[in-house]
Amino acid sequence: MQESIWNRTASLRPREPLSGDRKVDAAVIGGGLAGILTAHFLRAAGLETVVLEAARAGSGQTGRTTAKITAQHGLIYERLIDQLGREKAVLYAQANQWAVAEYRRMVREGGIDCDFTDCPAYLYATGDPWPIHREAEAAHSLGIDAACTADTELPFPVAAALRFGNQARFHPLRFLDAVAEPLELYEQTRVRDVEGNRVITDRGTVTAEHVVFACHYPFRNVPGYYFLRMHQERSYVLALENAAGLEGMYFGTDGDGLSFRPQGDLLLLGGGGHRTGENSAGGQYQKLRQAARSFWPESREMAAWSAQDGMPLDGVPYIGRFSATTPNWYVATGFQKWGMTSSMVAARLLTDLITTGASPWEEVFTPQRFQPPAAGKALLQESAQAAKGLGRRLFTPPRAEVEALPRGHGGVVEYRGEKLGVYKDDGGEGFCVSVRCPHLGCQLEWNPDEKSWDCPCHGSRFDYRGRLLDGPAQRDADVPE
């Protein structure tokens, strides 16, 4: 797996696994930014809190983000006003603007050394400028410092750009490490199940009055049914040396728009998004490399990595009570590409729910919301997509024979009536996995950009040996005898 510049330039202090049983006020599942910030606020409110992390803190999406701290979440505010109404759109904007300010406050007051830098954030379009103009009007009407311009630092002309002032960027793992320092955090402690107040791990049990699922994608299928209302998408990043020295952060709203974000002497160039499990042709890094060559022929690639995002049905994260039948469970998921402010919003919202029973932002983010026109249609599409994956498990003919596979390639083959995923490494050695996803049984697809087996239904991923990379699956793929 590729290493991000964040992983390369931070060394988080390791923590021991859980050992035996604990009884606490709150258990937070997941040691990423959302989990660590939630535990931070709960602890500050006087609750004895533990964090349970399956691998290392920050080893999930927090280490793969582009770390833009911004309330600018693509073309969102015009849509929120249309779909949810102005009142909820105002709350969404206020929550995320508060999150930017809260990062700034925590970094300054805590003296956290994490490259925190104030900077503007831009949306840009090279085609139709009108969505940008309408978004500017919507954002401005919600009280956001938003202004249109056609003047940017980008190496190509834009039709329109929308500037949000007073946004920020930082080093997410250095920030995480500082915030996690006083917390009771257990690493290498995978949660296997939650039964009422008991969180069952492979290292012991935690009994907690409140349980927070902050593990990117909830691994419990029932209740909550998050697998029916969220898919996952992947996107790719290059860190370039000798490219442009930008001040702002940029996000393209055209179909194949690119993302730009400076970090010290480097420029992070992002793009190439697709639904997880739908990249069998590959070439995502290649597209970014071509763009880098055409914009800055002298640039050098210093790192390349990818990230995975949970995509909710109506474009608003699910933050709040886990389900109607589990009063002491809470969830934070579906942050799309905007995990920094969403993590901060989730931490505040969940802490308020746990300590006071209410949050002013609850009605916007509640996972129990019901939006028939938007959610109903998307739910059908989501189910159709899941069914497509299940269908493929039975009917798609094998696409490659083992012996025909070139070195360095993977594909699905049929062997003694069973479908197998086969990868042949550069030395000619073959590796086989079952392509039946251990989550709910969809057929895994080969992702040549990352040499991984990815599930198109809900986004679980496995390396070429079948080892679990991303949930909601909780175990490795089967490996045939």
- What's the CA gap between 152 and 160, in Å, rounded? 9
Which listed residue (26, 161, 435, 457) binds ligand FES by CB under 6 A?
Answer: 457
Nearest-5° angle of CA 200, CA 23, CA 318? 60
Nearer to ligand FES, 143 or 441 (CB): 441
**Helix, strand, or coil here: 56?**
coil
- What's the CA gap between 108 and 190, in Å, rounded? 34
Nearer to ligand FES, 133 or 192 (CB): 192
- What's the CA gap between 466 and 341, in Å, rounded? 33
Nearer to ligand FES, 155 or 441 (CB): 441
Contacting range for ligand FES; rule: CB under 6 A; set: 29-37, 313-321, 350-358, 432-440: 432-440
Query: Total number of residues binding ligand FES (CB under 6 A)?
Result: 13
Which listed residue (173, 320, 472, 477) binds ligand FES by CB under 6 A?
Answer: 472
CB of residue 438 vs ligand FES: minimum separation in angstroms? 8
CB of residue 19 vs ligand FES: minimum separation in angstroms? 31
Does 458 contact ligand FES by CB under 6 A? yes
The 10 Å CB-count burial string (b at 16+, else e) for 52-64 is bbbeebbbbbbbb
Nearer to ligand FES, 10 or 442 (CB): 442
Does 42 contact ligand FES by CB under 6 A? no
The radius of gyration of the chain's CA atoms, rounded to the nearest angstrom, is 22
Nearer to ligand FES, 165 or 441 (CB): 441
Does 439 contact ligand FES by CB under 6 A? yes
Q: Smallest Cα–Cα separation from 206: which of 349, 66, 19, 374?
A: 19
Does 440 contact ligand FES by CB under 6 A? yes
Which listed residue (71, 437, 468, 477) binds ligand FES by CB under 6 A?
Answer: 437
Does 477 contact ligand FES by CB under 6 A? no
Residue 340 CB: number of other CB atoms within 10 A?
27
Contacting range for ligand FES; rule: CB under 6 A; set: 261-269, 292-300, 396-404, 453-461: 453-461
CB of residue 171 vs ligand FES: minimum separation in angstroms? 31
Residues 367, 249 contacting (CB under 8 angstroms): no
Cα four-point dihedral sign 11, 469, 429, 4: negative
CB of residue 37 vs ligand FES: minimum separation in angstroms? 26
- What's the CA gap between 171 and 180, in Å, rounded? 14
Which listed residue (26, 211, 353, 442) binds ligand FES by CB under 6 A?
Answer: 442
Strand 22-29 relative to strand 49-52: parallel, antiparallel, unpaired? parallel
- What's the CA gap between 300 and 201, in Å, rounded? 44
Nearer to ligand FES, 229 or 458 (CB): 458
- What's the CA gap between 12 and 175, in Å, rounded? 10
Which listed residue (162, 266, 455, 468) binds ligand FES by CB under 6 A?
Answer: 455
Binding site for ligand FES (CB under 6 A): 227, 437, 439-442, 455, 457-460, 472-473
